[in-house]
């Protein structure tokens, strides 16, 4: 039942995101990046776990660049067939290879992120709710990773993509904070 609800919602939010004009998306993305870069979580982390944006996802490249310039370590995900995702460090956005799902990713031989309580993970999604639960693409990669992650989690989402309540089950791991173009939302899960 939950999977069917999520599947239907995915179609709605993918279509809604596709209907945003490139100008509207760019303005919202810039504001979200600005809020993240100027925020406490970003400025107090030693490692940024981010994602390379695809399929009209919120553009995190300015945040990644700002972290690299600020000497904050940056790691991007690598996804494997078995539903496992790991983060590996990068030193620039120039040397990424096309990986699974055609997503640019770090070299599989680069240093592995093994954990840090001072790290910040920016988690992509189609939608979030005020409790920090997300609607992703359905692979469960982030939920598996976040189950043992000890740092701070932030969901980047457009304000009109924050749902009243999303369907979720015991395997879904909520984030603690949402960043929208309108500001910061502390989730009600803690």
The string of pLDDT tens digits covering residues 4-17 is 888 899 999 999 99
Mean pLDDT computed over 22-37? 97
Give Cβ neighbours of residue 186 (< 8 Å, ≥ 6 apart).
Answer: 176, 177
Query: What's the pLDDT score for residue 46?
Result: 96
Q: Inter-axis angle of helices 61-69 and 22-37, to 10 degrees?
A: 30
Mean pLDDT computed over 33-45? 95
Query: What's the pLDDT score for residue 189?
Result: 64
What is the C-alpha to C-alpha distance for residues 29 and 57, in angstroms, rounded to an integer? 9
Query: What's the pLDDT score for residue 106?
Result: 96
Residue 2: is its pLDDT beyond 80? no
Do the bridges between strand 47-49 and strand 119-123 make them parallel or antiparallel, or are there none, so unpaired? Answer: parallel
Query: What's the pLDDT score for residue 27?
Result: 97
Residue 190: is its pLDDT beyond 80? no
Mean pLDDT computed over 60-75? 97
Mean pLDDT computed over 155-184? 94
Which pTM does this prediction carry?
0.94
What are the backbone angles phi and psi of residue 89, rounded to the nearest 5°? -70, 150
CB 173 within 8 A of CB 150: no
Query: What's the pLDDT score for residue 15?
Result: 93
- Percentage of residues of the chain with pLDDT beyond 90: 77
What is the C-alpha to C-alpha distance for residues 152 and 12, in angstroms, rounded to an integer? 29
What is the C-alpha to C-alpha distance for residues 60 and 53, in angstroms, rounded to an integer? 7
Query: What's the pLDDT score for residue 1?
Result: 62
Condensed to tens digits (0 to 9), the pLDDT of residues 115-159 reads 989 999 999 999 999 999 999 888 889 999 999 999 999 999 999
Query: What's the pLDDT score for residue 41?
Result: 92
Query: What's the pLDDT score for residue 74?
Result: 98
Q: Which residue intervals of 46-128 are DSSP H helices?
A: 61-69
Query: What's the pLDDT score for residue 82?
Result: 81
The three-class DSSP label of residue 61 is helix
Give Cβ neighbours of residue 15 (< 8 Å, ≥ 6 apart).
Answer: none
Mean pLDDT value across the chain: 93
């Amino acid at each position: 039942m939950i999977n069917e609800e999520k599947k239907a919602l995915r179609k709605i939010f993918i279509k809604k995101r596709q209907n945003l004009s490139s100008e509207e998306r760019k303005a919202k993305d810039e504001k979200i990046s600005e809020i993240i870069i100027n925020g406490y979580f970003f400025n107090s982390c030693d490692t940024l776990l981010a994602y390379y944006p695809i399929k009209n996802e919120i553009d995190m490249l300015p945040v990644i660049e700002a972290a690299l310039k600020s000497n904050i370590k940056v790691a991007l995900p690598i996804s494997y067939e078995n539903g496992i995702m790991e983060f590996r460090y990068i030193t620039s956005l120039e040397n990424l290879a096309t990986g699974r799902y055609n997503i640019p990713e770090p070299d599989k031989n680069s240093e592995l992120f093994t954990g840090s309580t001072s790290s910040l993970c920016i988690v992509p999604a189609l939608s979030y709710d005020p409790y920090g639960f997300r609607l992703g693409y359905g692979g469960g990669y982030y939920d598996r990773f976040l189950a043992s992650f000890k740092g701070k989690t932030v969901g980047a989402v457009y304000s009109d993509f924050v749902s009243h309540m999303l369907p979720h089950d015991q395997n879904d791991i909520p984030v603690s904070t949402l960043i929208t173009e309108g500001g910061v939302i502390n989730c009600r899960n803690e």
